[in-house]
Amino acid sequence: MTIKYLDQMDVSGKRVLIRVDYNVPYDKNMKITDDTRITATIDTLNYCIERGAKVILVSHLGRPDGKVVPGMSLKPVAEKLSELMKKKILFIDAEPGDKAKAMSDTMMNGDIALLENIRFYPGEEKNDDAFGKKLALLADVYINDAFATAHRGHASNDAITKYVKDCGAGFLMKNEIEYFKKAMDNPARPMGAIIGGAKVSSKLGILKNIIGKVDFIIIGGGMAFTFYKAMGLNTGKSLMEKDLVKEAGEILRQAKISGIEILLPVDVVVASEFKDDSPKSIIPFDKIPDDKIGLDIGPESIKQFSDKIKNSKTIVWNGPMGAFEMPNFSIGTNSIAMAVAESECLSIVGGGDSVTAINQLGISDKMSYISTAGGAFLELLEGKILPAVKALDK
């Protein structure tokens, strides 16, 4: 795959259309509550405007389903961006086409414009060719810097690339692609994956893909119980997917054949109810009583997993070790986060919950790379080629 990156492209004096991900959270007064996704693009924006490019930004916000929904306008984002960049942002509230082009024609070198929510227009999510062509009217150069939407093939990250000759990836996208390559294509070893979360079903594709790549897999969270079941153990009232027991057993078998070590928790924190104040106890993994739910990994598992992590050179992590939203069952996830932070390995973390845990602990700067994406990160781990990345490969 050959993808051009922004720093290899000539943007001087050109109209550079950048697909960004400004799908930011906001409150009922349309006040943005977290501007991380906007600030994350500033390097890409500065690089372009310092070279006298006219920057036209395209993003979606929420799910308006091809209709104009005033409560999902990107206008407040334009205002926030103006504040952050300390310059005026032209807000183009016309549908891509001649009128939007006429508005963008008023821009001077170094100016920035933001288009209205691209999902207001039905052509976007349909990856409509004609719509992509209209968007391309605004661009001499196309840059995609929205990794979080890269697993979707939409007009603003796929169809448009057919109509702009010069296409490439911005700095955020570059980081995602490069770190991922470093971790998965030619990793420093030992290399391990920590996979947690509620269900085996949502992580099955990942487990099947990484089994041929990693040296070990740590499995925690609710999904561990389906593996215990496959080992013929009792799982009490814990989360367990009956119809995936066979698949879990097959993964254990495959790992054994390939010499991949699978580490499952050796002790479990159990309670009678799925409640933070439900009294908890620690029991061995093979002694879960019928009336108990396993909600976190126990101290001996924490120790074993942490030792393994500390002796690794590369770690990829997705998913919590327990029902970590409840403080009484968050110790496992937090301890594993600390072990990754303290390890000197190349650490790549992705997925909402693992990232939330890291942010809550204030240790995000201790990770080598935190992916900005949920779905796209998971699909990369599943070994899929993301449509928007493929579209940049010319």
| Site for ligand AMP, residues 342 to 371, rule: CB under 6 A | 351, 353
Tokens of 82: 């103006």
In whole angstroms, the minimum distance from the beta carbon of 225 to ligand AMP comes to: 7
Q: Toward ligand AMP, which CB reaches closer, 121 or 228?
A: 228
Residue 84: closest CA among 117, 50, 35: 35
Contacts 24+ apart (CB under 8 A), 252-255: 252/227, 254/211, 255/211, 255/217
Site mask for ligand AMP (CB under 6 A), range 179-198, x = bound: ------------------xx
- Burial label, 207 (beta-carbon count in 10 A; 0-12, 13-18, 19+): buried
- Does 295 engage in binding with ligand AMP (CB under 6 A)? yes
Q: Applying CB under 6 A, which of residues 322, 379, 380, 391 lies at the interface with ligand AMP?
A: 322
- Does 168 engage in binding with ligand AMP (CB under 6 A)? no
Q: Toward ligand AMP, which CB reaches closer, 34 or 325?
A: 325
Reported as half-sphere exposure (CB side, CA atoms, 13 A), residue 93 has a value of: 10
**Considering 375, 383, 384, 390, which one is annotated as catalytic?**
375
| Site for ligand AMP, residues 109 to 128, rule: CB under 6 A | none
Residue 295, Cβ neighbours under 10 Å: how many?
27
Residue 278 neighbours by CB under 8 Å, 6+ apart:
271, 272
In whole angstroms, the minimum distance from the beta carbon of 93 to ligand AMP comes to: 36
In whole angstroms, the minimum distance from the beta carbon of 196 to ligand AMP comes to: 6
Residue 165 is among the residues annotated as catalytic for this protein: no
- Does 323 engage in binding with ligand AMP (CB under 6 A)? yes
Place of tokens 């995936």: 244
| Site for ligand AMP, residues 65 to 104, rule: CB under 6 A | none
Residue 131: closest CA among 167, 102, 95, 85: 95
What Rg do the C-alpha atoms of the chain give, in angstroms? 23
- Does 169 engage in binding with ligand AMP (CB under 6 A)? no
Rounded Cα distance between 370 and 393, Å, is 24
Rounded Cα distance between 255 and 185, Å, is 19
Residue 199 is among the residues annotated as catalytic for this protein: yes
Q: Toward ligand AMP, which CB reaches closer, 192 or 222?
A: 222
- Does 199 engage in binding with ligand AMP (CB under 6 A)? yes
**Considering 37, 134, 152, 237, which one is annotated as catalytic?**
37
For ligand AMP, the binding residues (CB under 6 A) are: 197-199, 202, 221-222, 239, 294-295, 319-320, 322-325, 351, 353
